[in-house]
Structure 1
Amino acid sequence: MTHKAKIAVFISGTGTNLAALLYASRLDDAAYEIVLVASNVSDAAGLALAQLEGIATFTHSHKGISREEQDAAMEAAVVEAGGDFIVLAGYMRILSDSFVERWEGQILNIHPSLLPKYKGLDTFARAIEAGDSHAGSSVHIVTPELDAGEVLAQVRVAIAPDDTPEALAARVKPAEHQLYPRAVADYVSRGYDPEYLYAKVRELALALPETHERDSHGSPGFRVGTEKSGKFFAHFNDQHHGSQHIAVLVKTGSMDELLDLVEAQPEAYFKPAYYGASGWIGVILNRPGVDWEHVGEWLHRSWRSVAPARLTKLLDAADQF
């Protein structure tokens, strides 16, 4: 694993899930490292563990201030530590909508139920009362709506006939400790997984009118037009021809534009060894903070540059309304 995501963990208590995340991060080929443990409780036990293990800590009490002020203080600490993602591990504060929106897709939480069942509190008592056969935990993306974000992974734990909420919670806890590090690792590393990146590009490319897929020089390519006479408007490049990049190759307007972009933003663009002489530019995908809307705009622009006039005229007409 050449890239490790930097995560900040928010806690309010003992930090058992923090411990699971921390020690998983110390294994060979771990996908992330913890750069900060932050809490709203100054004597949270998890802070002592972080300090013992040499991890930076931060505390800021939520008492007497607004939710937005608390979030701003925590966010500033994350930014200073260089965090790419925020992982909630027993953080007993509801985040403000504005904070969640600024970190869209970059905050994860673990919730003690099999979502979408039993959002909120008292999840084990509610599962037992409902007569469910299993309870468990879910790792999900945090959104402004409580416990409603995309579920990334779940673990199921059987409910015994005579279970109490306390006994069930005690059995779910070690299952959580297995689930959370793996789910976090899978999520934060997918931006460097060729299969995930290709699937994203493929979805965007094939959503454009009259497009189809065809391999080109051993890598996936996307064409517009008929199977017989279609023209390529994008290629998926997985570290081909000596490149370190996973990228989508799209057409620029000119060689000058290509060279200007590469010079101004070398972290985002490169000149492909094989295609660059023809004005194709590589939009780098295996990097932090990829803007997929921007990738989609590049694909659309490249598609327009080679699409049949009958298709572009229809789009031009639609743009008038």
Structure 2
Amino acid sequence: MPGKPRILPERAKVAVLISGSGTNMAALLYASRAADCPYEIVLVGSNNPGAAGLTLAAAEGIGTFALPHQGMARIDHDMAMDAAIRASGAQYVALAGYMRILTAEFVTGWDGRMLNIHPSLLPKYTGLHTHERALAAGDSCGGCTVHLVTAALDDGPVLGQTPVVILPGDTADSLAARVLIAEHQLYARCLSDLVAQGSSPDFLIQQVRELALALPETDEVLSHAMPCFGIVKGKKFAYVSNDHHGDGKVALLVKISGADEQAQLIELDEARYYRPPYFGDGWIGIRLDLGDTDWDAVATSLNRSWHSIAPKKLTGLFSAADQF
């Protein structure tokens, strides 16, 4: 008998921001055409309506958005770009030659889900003229770096780097041309790794584990084939469901106040929240595999669930500690 057809996970939706020719955007786009690529480009946005990359994206059937920044307050422009990105359904943002310094408000809204490529081996040579600076310093290599975006310029955790050797007689232009080849290969690989991590059961379970075990007097056991967290030798306050009974979900199950809160959460976001079978009205399932998990909110849910079952002597000590 033939086996079951392979069901591929839904691909993560990515918006790319550019200001010019968009060669890195094109590299990401064409990499996404591979059958096993875990992402798709849903929007190419720019602060420059004349950017050549917009023409290419439109010709390839990708939605585009352009808004000139001249005459706009930086925060207003950022929020308009943010609104267009969210309207596209994007879960991640890739900066690809976007020549605007982003506001902290914009960056915070995409914390952990926005990445950038920079033409140097960071932390060397943040900012502009990276190739000239590498040559002037007598470096043996230039290169490129993909990193998560933070409010600090060209900062944030490094996701990948590729060194590019500097040859005798190199100019900034000749070095830049070879670094660009490396950028085109590195960026798609790092983006793929990042979005795949966001739906990896091992990664998601580990994030919950670290948050849950940071709560006082907590341990982990296996219950009903699920990682389960509770007070040591006491009640349980959280489970992680990984395709439990073949439902295809990676989700956190936590205690809530009851049926009314359960219904309110499901109505608020029925894609994320659900009534977990066999657990009753006092629990809620929270999908972790949608690619946009708010881990601060997860920590709050775990904390609240822990408080609901922890002995008063523990909750009292915990509350006292929070005051310091």
Same fold per TM (> 0.5)? yes
Distance 2:303 2:49 in 1: 51
Q: Secondary structure at 1:178's aligned position in 2?
A: helix
Over 3 Å counting, the alpha-carbon distance change for 1:285 and 1:76 in structure 2 is: closer
Distance 2:259 2:50 in 1: 59
Q: Secondary structure at 2:90's aligned position in 1?
A: coil
Give the structure 2 partner of residue 152 of structure 1.
159
Equivalent of 1:92, from 99, 115, 122? 99
Give the structure 2 partner of residue 193 of structure 1.
200
Contact 1:269 1:283 in 2 (8 A): yes
The count of residues paired between Structure 1 and Structure 2 equals 317
Give the structure 2 partner of residue 290 of structure 1.
293
Q: Does 1:29 align with 2:71?
A: no
Q: Does 1:173 align with 2:176?
A: no
Give the structure 2 partner of residue 301 of structure 1.
304
What percentage of aligned pairs have identical amino acids?
53
Q: Does 1:59 align with 2:63?
A: no
Distance 2:82 2:186 in 1: 26
Question: CA deviation digits over 1:211-247, x for unaligned, max 9?
Answer: 222222333222322xxx2433222110112323211
Question: CA deviation digits over 1:261-282, x for unaligned, max 9?
Answer: 44664323223334x1484432
Question: CA deviation digits over 1:51-76, x for unaligned, max 9?
Answer: 22112223333334433343344334
Contact 1:38 1:59 in 2 (8 A): yes
5+ long unaligned stretches in structure 1: none
Give the structure 2 partner of residue 110 of structure 1.
117
Q: Secondary structure at 2:222's aligned position in 1?
A: strand
Distance 1:167 1:293 in 2: 45
Give the structure 1 partner of residue 3 of structure 2.
none
Over 3 Å counting, the alpha-carbon distance change for 1:62 and 1:280 in structure 2 is: closer
Equivalent of 1:82, from 82, 89, 109? 89
Equivalent of 1:20, from 27, 43, 54? 27
Q: Does 1:45 align with 2:52?
A: yes
5+ long unaligned stretches in structure 2: 1-7
Q: Does 1:130 align with 2:126?
A: no
Moved more, 259-268 or 294-303: 259-268
Moved more, 64-73 or 149-158: 64-73
Q: Secondary structure at 1:192's aligned position in 2?
A: coil
Over 3 Å counting, the alpha-carbon distance change for 1:156 and 1:268 in structure 2 is: same
Equivalent of 1:266, from 256, 264, 270? 270
Structure 1 residue 33, shift from structure 2 partner:
1.8
Structure 1 residue 319, shift from structure 2 partner:
5.0
Q: TM-score, normalised by structure 1?
A: 0.88
Question: CA deviation digits over 1:93-128, x for unaligned, max 9?
Answer: 222333323333333211111112211112122223
Distance 2:293 2:88 in 1: 20
Distance 1:207 1:89 in 2: 37
Over 3 Å counting, the alpha-carbon distance change for 1:161 and 1:199 in structure 2 is: farther
Distance 1:320 1:118 in 2: 42
2:21 counterpart letter in structure 1: T
Distance 2:26 2:268 in 1: 42
Contact 2:227 2:239 in 1 (8 A): yes
Over 3 Å counting, the alpha-carbon distance change for 1:149 and 1:264 in structure 2 is: closer
Contact 1:241 1:273 in 2 (8 A): no
Give the structure 1 partner of residue 212 of structure 2.
205
1:223 counterpart letter in structure 2: G
Q: Does 1:314 align with 2:317?
A: yes
Give the structure 2 partner of residue 251 of structure 1.
255
1:298 counterpart letter in structure 2: S
Structure 1 residue 176, shift from structure 2 partner:
0.7
Contact 1:212 1:222 in 2 (8 A): yes
Give the structure 1 partner of residue 4 of structure 2.
none
Over 3 Å counting, the alpha-carbon distance change for 1:157 and 1:319 in structure 2 is: closer
Over 3 Å counting, the alpha-carbon distance change for 1:314 and 1:31 in structure 2 is: same
Question: CA deviation digits over 1:73-102, x for unaligned, max 9?
Answer: 433432343333322111222223333233
Question: CA deviation digits over 1:273-305, x for unaligned, max 9?
Answer: 34x148443222122532222211221122223
Q: TM-score, normalised by structure 2?
A: 0.87
RMSD: 2.5
Distance 1:62 1:309 in 2: 55
